[in-house]
Structure 1
Amino acid sequence: MPPIRKPLVSLTAAALLTTGLVAAGPATAAPGRAAPEAGNTAAVPATIPITITNKSGRNDRVYLYNLGTDLATGRQGWADANGTFHPWPAGGNPPTPAPDASIAGPANGQSLTIRLPKFSGRVYFSYGQKLDFRLTTGGLVQPAVQNPSDPNRNILFNWTEYTLNDGGLWINSTQVDMVSAPYAVGVKLANGTTKNTGHLKPGGYNAFYNALKSQSGGWANLIQTRSDGTILRALSPGHAVGTGVLPASVMNDYINRVWTKYASSTLTVTPFKDQPNTKYFGRVSGNVMNFTNGAGAVVTSFQKPDADSVFGCHKLLDAPNDAVRGPISRTLCAGYNRSTLLSNPNQPDADNANFYKDAVTNHYARAIHAQMADGKAYAFAFDDVGNHESLVTDGNPQAAFITLDPFS
Structure 2
Amino acid sequence: MATTERNSESALKTGTDQSPPVRPSDQPHRSPARRWRVLRGLRHRLAAVAGATALVGALLSLGHPAQAAVPDTIPLKITNNSGRGDAVYVYTLGTLLSTGQQGWADASGTFHPWPAGSVPPVPAPDASIPGPAAGQSKTIRIPKFSGRIYFSYGQKLVFQLATGGLVQPAVQNPSDPNRNILFNWSEYTLNNDGLWINSTQVDMFSVPYAVGVQRSDGSTVNTGHLKSGGYNGFYSALRGQPGGWANLIQTRSDGTVLRALSPGHGLETGALPASVMDDYINRVWQKYATSTLTVTPFGNQPGTKYYGRVSGGVMNFTNTSGAVVTSFQKPDADSVFGCHKLLDAPNDQVRGPISRTLCAGFNRSTLLVNPNQPDTTTANFYQDAVTNHYARKIHAQMADGKAYAFAFDDVGNQESLVHDGAPQQAYLTLDPLN
**TM-score category of the 2 structures, normalised to the smaller one:** over 0.9
2:396 aligns with 370
1:272 deviates by 0.1
Partner Cα separation in structure 2 for residue 12 and residue 311 of structure 1: 16
Q: Which residue of the other structure, out of 356, 363, 378, is the alignment partner of 1:337?
A: 363
Q: Is contact 2:90-2:149 (8 Å) kept? A: yes
1:118 aligns with 144
1:242 deviates by 1.5
Amino acid of the residue matched to residue 158 of structure 2? D
1:39 deviates by 2.9
SS in 2 for 1:302: strand
Q: Kindly tell me: are residues 3 and 74 of structure 1, through their superposed partners in 2, closer, same or farther at Cα, counting changes over 3 Å?
A: farther
Q: Kindly tell me: are residues 80 and 334 of structure 1, through their superposed partners in 2, closer, same or farther at Cα, counting changes over 3 Å?
A: same
SS in 2 for 1:308: helix
Q: Is contact 1:6-1:25 (8 Å) kept? A: no
1:149 to 2:136 alignment:
no
1:392 to 2:418 alignment:
yes
Q: Is contact 2:54-2:95 (8 Å) kept? A: no
Partner Cα separation in structure 2 for residue 36 and residue 74 of structure 1: 15
Q: Is contact 1:201-1:372 (8 Å) kept? A: yes
Q: Which residue of the other structure, out of 152, 156, 160, is the alignment partner of 1:130?
A: 156
Partner Cα separation in structure 2 for residue 276 and residue 11 of structure 1: 32
Q: Which residue of the other structure, out of 251, 259, 273, is the alignment partner of 2:277?
A: 251
Give the paired residue count.
402
2:35 aligns with 6
Partner Cα separation in structure 1 for residue 433 and residue 392 of structure 2: 20
SS in 2 for 1:6: helix
1:98 aligns with 124
Partner Cα separation in structure 2 for residue 221 and residue 24 of structure 1: 29
Amino acid of the residue matched to residue 229 of structure 1? G
Q: Is contact 2:87-2:155 (8 Å) kept? A: yes
1:283-311 deviations in Å (ceiling 9; x for gaps): 00122000000011000000000000000
Q: Kindly tell me: are residues 9 and 342 of structure 1, through their superposed partners in 2, closer, same or farther at Cα, counting changes over 3 Å?
A: closer
1:92 deviates by 0.6
2:198 aligns with 172
Amino acid of the residue matched to residue 333 of structure 2? A
1:59 to 2:88 alignment:
no
1:360 aligns with 386
Show the 5 A alignment for 1:4-403.
4=31, 5-7=34-36, 23=47, 28=53, 38-403=64-429
Q: Is contact 1:48-1:117 (8 Å) kept? A: yes
SS in 1 for 2:35: coil
SS in 1 for 2:291: coil
Q: Kindly tell me: are residues 54 and 122 of structure 1, through their superposed partners in 2, closer, same or farther at Cα, counting changes over 3 Å?
A: same
Q: Kindly tell me: are residues 360 and 30 of structure 1, through their superposed partners in 2, closer, same or farther at Cα, counting changes over 3 Å?
A: farther
Partner Cα separation in structure 2 for residue 30 and residue 92 of structure 1: 24
Amino acid of the residue matched to residue 289 of structure 2? A
Q: Kindly tell me: are residues 305 and 29 of structure 1, through their superposed partners in 2, closer, same or farther at Cα, counting changes over 3 Å?
A: farther
Gaps of 5+ in 2: 1-13, 15-28
Amino acid of the residue matched to residue 160 of structure 1? S
Q: Is contact 2:49-2:147 (8 Å) kept? A: no
Q: Is contact 1:169-1:397 (8 Å) kept? A: yes
Q: Is contact 2:297-2:305 (8 Å) kept? A: yes
Q: Is contact 1:23-1:144 (8 Å) kept? A: no
Q: Is contact 1:377-1:383 (8 Å) kept? A: yes
Amino acid of the residue matched to residue 314 of structure 2? V
1:168 deviates by 0.5
Partner Cα separation in structure 2 for residue 304 and residue 23 of structure 1: 30
1:29 deviates by 11
Q: Kindly tell me: are residues 76 and 24 of structure 1, through their superposed partners in 2, closer, same or farther at Cα, counting changes over 3 Å?
A: closer
Partner Cα separation in structure 2 for residue 256 and residue 322 of structure 1: 28
Gaps of 5+ in 1: 17-21
Q: Kindly tell me: are residues 347 and 31 of structure 1, through their superposed partners in 2, closer, same or farther at Cα, counting changes over 3 Å?
A: farther
Q: Is contact 2:53-2:95 (8 Å) kept? A: no
Q: Is contact 2:395-2:401 (8 Å) kept? A: yes
Q: Is contact 1:154-1:226 (8 Å) kept? A: yes
Partner Cα separation in structure 1 for residue 188 and residue 175 of structure 2: 28
Amino acid of the residue matched to residue 328 of structure 2? F
Q: Kindly tell me: are residues 375 and 156 of structure 1, through their superposed partners in 2, closer, same or farther at Cα, counting changes over 3 Å?
A: same
1:23 deviates by 4.5
Partner Cα separation in structure 2 for residue 311 and residue 46 of structure 1: 36
1:19 aligns with none
Partner Cα separation in structure 1 for residue 186 and residue 342 of structure 2: 28
SS in 1 for 2:270: coil
Q: Is contact 1:37-1:166 (8 Å) kept? A: no
2:25 aligns with none
1:163-191 deviations in Å (ceiling 9; x for gaps): 00001000000000000010000000001
CA RMSD of aligned residues (A): 2.1
Q: Kindly tell me: are residues 356 and 30 of structure 1, through their superposed partners in 2, closer, same or farther at Cα, counting changes over 3 Å?
A: farther
SS in 2 for 1:328: helix
